[in-house]
Structure 1
Amino acid sequence: MMFSSDPIVQVRNACIFQGMNTVLQDVSFNIEKYEFVFLIGRTGSGKSSLLKTLYADLKLQMGEAEVAGYTIHNIKIKEIPFLRRKIGIVFQDFQLFTDRSVAENLLFVMKATGWKDKTKMKTRLAEVLMRVGLGGAATKMPHQLSGGEQQRVVIARALLNDPSILLADEPTGNLDPEVADGIFQLFQDINKQGTAILMATHNHELLKKHPYRVLKCEKGKLLDSKTSDFTLSTSQ
């Protein structure tokens, strides 16, 4: 199948598996460059599995997909680190090294993704921390930061390689509403500066306030608000 050059994500006729179980069938969608998209659905409906498939943590066994120029359905193991340099991944549970400072957490990722020049690394580290509002946090340990600040570190980490798209799995799920609003505004700012966003969320208030496109995992299918007529229930 030929893919066009415009979308940053293209998925065609994919089946998403978790172990031996099929969680989503016949999945097809595009995400355009610079687009902001919500991903919703009940717990266990396939949201996280879909995201993991897009960044090649779960193998795409049926169907075709391209993310940031990489074909996911036949990606080689040695290509996966290069794919992940083109995308940023934001987790709900932070996944920071608790025994390393903020700077050391970011430097670890930079070294793992091929950065060599120490001067450029130092400059980029300062840039991403400033971008997320944590210019003075480089020497702090994770336990010295609030939950919202830790999530900002995670977002800074995801921005290190100037990704084409951020994949965010419930990034505000563990935060109180006011802090969550600030994190969401940061995602909006990142999107306005040219990075596409695919954000899984249970936050129904976000969906009410911000009428972005919605992908909904429901009963083994992926529904798209661009092409499907579905309502957003508070059970998501």
Structure 2
Amino acid sequence: MSFSSEPVVSLRDAAIFQDDNRVLDNVTFDISKGEFVYLVGRTGSGKSSLLKTLYADLDLRLGDGQVASYPLRDIKRNQVPFLRRKLGIVFQDFQLFYDRTVAENLVFVMRATGWTDSAKIKKRLAEVLMRVGLGSVDNKMPHQLSGGEQQRVVIARSLINEPVLMIADEPTGNLDPEVGEGIMRLFLEINNSGTAILMATHNHKFLQDFPARILKCDNGRVLDSQKEKFGLTNIW
């Protein structure tokens, strides 16, 4: 995938905090439009805190940063929903409403992000479900789906507003290897269509089979495989 040099993520000398603990320091990197980047590191190394800072769930207190042209430092609370409309966020634990159908889960997000035209909602709903290979599950409840299918619903949800960046936090962590590889291939298809992806993962096989740039959280720093040498054998 070729990608633009214009960054969708840019951090400069950023400090990442979890509560009052500084978990990462002097974080500096860019992610370009259309780029695929892995985020790796041991449990507790700051990966999730970094991702939460990028979608403004945690404040950026020190340093500078922007995501999808929104400044992270001192971002106003009323701007956060507009930032997140430009992002697709995928979690390990799905975070679906289990008392609503697949369609109702997606329509809830669409209504919350400004969709009002029922015909356009119906059309977009069908488009994103087809894109993730779930064209016939719209009236099913989440508990009627497999784990892999539920994660595909989450990915469909994240695609609704055509994000410039997808942030995925261990999206295959609760799935068996074969299903997880199918989800990984779906992310690659989305990336090939031009969406930048930042994926936190512990899956060593992905790094080997689908090589890409790696950011590694390590001892309070973020190492970049484009700038520093570190092998896959000691990635964690």
| TM range, smaller chain | over 0.9
Task: Tell me, in whole angstroms, the C-alpha distance in 1 between the residues paired with 2:139 and 2:97.
Answer: 13
1:152-182 CA-partner distances (Å, limit 9, x unpaired): 0000000000000100000011100100010
Instruction: Tell me, yes or no, if structure 1 residue 104 matches structure 2 residue 104.
Output: yes
Identity %: 65
Shift of 1:23: 0.6
Contact 2:40 / 2:235 at 8 angstroms: preserved in 1?
no
User: Which whole-Å CA distance do the structure 2 matches of 1:93 and 1:234 have between them?
Assistant: 27
Describe how 1:110-125 pairs up with structure 2 within 5 A: 110-125=110-125
* Alignment partners' CA distance in 1, 2:103 and 2:77: 28
Secondary structure in 2 aligned to 1:51? helix
- SS for the counterpart of 1:185 is helix
| Count of matched residue pairs | 232
Pair 1:19 & 2:58 matched: no
Q: Which amino acid aligns with 1:75?
A: I
Residue 150 of structure 2 corresponds to 150
Q: Tell me the equivalent position of 2:175.
A: 175
Classify the secondary structure of the residue corresponding to 1:23: strand
CA distance in 2, matches of 1:235, 1:15: 22
Distance 1:53 1:151 in 2: 23
Aligned position for 2:129 = 129
Partner residue of 2:28? 28
Distance in 2, Cα, partners of 1:74 & 1:58: 11
Q: Give the Cα–Cα distance (whole angstroms) in 1 for the partners of residues 152 and 139 of structure 2.
A: 15
Q: In the TM superposition, what whole-angstrom CA distance separates every residue of 1:80-103 from its partner, at most 9, and x where no partner exists?
A: 000000010000000000000000
1:197 matched to which residue of 2?
Answer: 197
8 Å Cα contact 2:14/2:62 also seen in 1: yes
Where in structure 2 are the equivalents of 1:184-223 lying within 5 Å?
A: 184-223=184-223
Deviations 1:207-235 (A, max 9, x none): 11111000000000000000011122367
Q: Which residue of 2 aligns with 1:226?
A: 226
Give TM-score, length-normalised by structure 2. 0.97
CA contact (8 A) 1:169 1:199 kept: yes
1:166 aligned residue: 166
When the two structures are superposed, what TM-score results if normalisation uses the length of structure 1?
0.97
Cα distance in 1 for residues equivalent to 2:234 and 2:92 = 20
Secondary structure at the counterpart of residue 83 of structure 1: helix
**Is the Cα–Cα contact under 8 Å of residues 204 and 234 in structure 1 kept in the other structure?**
no
Local SS of the residue matching 1:30: strand
Q: Distance in 2 between matches of 1:124 and 1:159?
A: 10
Residue aligned with 2:100, SS: coil
1:58 aligns with 2:58: yes
Which runs of no fewer than 5 residues in structure 1 stay unpaired?
Answer: none
Give the letter aligned to residue 6 of structure 1: E
Please say if residues 54 and 72 of structure 2, whose CA atoms lie closer than 8 Å, have aligned partners that are also in contact.
yes
Q: Is the 8 A contact 1:15 1:60 kept in 2?
A: yes
* Residues in 2 aligned to 1:211 and 1:84: alpha-carbon distance in whole angstroms: 28
SS in 2 for 1:174: coil
